[in-house]
Amino acid sequence: MTTMTQLRKAALALPEVEEGNHFGLQAFLVKGRGFVSVTSDGHVQLRLSPEQVAKAQESVGGMPIERAGRTIGLKIPLADVNGQQLNELIRQAWQHQAPKRLAATFDAGVEAGGDLPSGIGAPATRALHGAGIRTLAQVAEHAKAELLALHGVGPKAIRVLEESLRASGKAFRG
């Protein structure tokens, strides 16, 4: 079961995201464009392409959101989707709504990788990249608690990062 706190962490870990209201719903926006919102009855609405909606329905279910006869997104109960699935759907919705240049820069950064150890896992890597952290030197500028607050970064990732920092003569801040 995924919580609103987990959704918030995942959305705010992406570049240039603001939390606010969109059509009266609690929402997350990139450059003023809503990509995720939450209804008062606990449904998450994701702005996705029709192809992404069809693919997501196969794995997580949900109902397509239509406007003027066009599929514009997916609506699913927040409690019915697991954290990893939601992280991926939020990233897809962000990429769908983000300006092309911003999305391309983010994608290039994720592919570039920096010098983060591969042992931290893909969710932690995405979370760190989303926060603009791509190198061990940048990791060392943060406290463990700050990184643990990112959705996708867990105790295993912190342990692997700590070992890598130690091996390079660095440590977490504070």
Its domain, for residue 14, covers 4-99
Q: Are residues 60 and 124 in the same domain?
A: no
What percentage of the chain has pLDDT greater than the value 70?
95
* Residue 70, in any domain of the structure: yes
Same-domain check for residues 151 and 72: no
Examine the domain organization and report whether 30 and 95 are in the same domain: yes
Do 90 and 118 share a domain, yes or no? no
Assign 31 to helix, strand or coil. coil
152 conformational bin, left if phi > 0, alpha if psi -120 to 50, beta if neither: left
Tell me: do 78 and 153 sit in the same domain. no
Instruction: Judge contact between 35 and 93, C-beta under 8 A.
Output: yes
At residue 15, the pLDDT reads: 83
Helix, strand, or coil (residue 66): strand
The C-alpha angle 88, 94, 98, rounded to 5 degrees, equals: 155
Q: Is the dihedral of CA 92, 96, 98, 99 positive or negative?
A: positive
Q: Evaluate whether residue 108 is within a structural domain.
A: no
DSSP letter at 50 equals H
Q: What is the CATH number of the domain that holds 152?
A: 1.10.150
Taking residue 173's Cβ as centre, other Cβ atoms within 10 Å add up to 11
| Residue 119 pLDDT | 85
Do 64 and 117 lie in one domain? The reply is no
Q: Look up the CATH number of the domain holding residue 50.
A: 3.90.1150.30
Three-state DSSP class for residue 3: coil
pLDDT band per the 50, 70, 90 thresholds, residue 87: confident
In this prediction the pTM is 0.66
| Pairing outcome for strands 70-77 and 17-22 | unpaired
Structural domain ending residue among the three candidates 66, 99, 132: 99
Q: Look at residue 128 and tell me if it is in a domain.
A: yes
Is the same domain home to 28 and 94? yes
48, 95: one domain: yes
- The answer on 156 and 119 residing in a single domain is yes
Q: How many domains does the chain have?
A: 2
Distance CA 110, CA 131 (A): 11
pLDDT of 131 reads 81
Per-residue pLDDT tens over the stretch 41-82: 999 999 999 999 999 999 999 999 999 999 999 999 999 998
Model confidence over 1-57: pLDDT tens digits?
Answer: 678 988 988 888 788 899 998 788 899 999 999 999 999 999 999 999 999 999 999
140-126-146 Cα angle (round to 5): 40
Q: 11 in a domain, yes or no?
A: yes
Residues 93 and 118 in one domain: no
- Asked if residue 133 and residue 159 are part of one domain, the reply reads yes
DSSP-assigned beta bridge partners for residue 27: 20, 37
Q: Take residue 30 and report the two structure tokens written for it.
A: 């990139």
**How far lies 25's CA from each of 33, 37, 102, in Å?**
13, 6, 25
**Does any domain span residue 106?**
no
Indicate if 80 and 28 belong to the same structural domain. Answer: yes
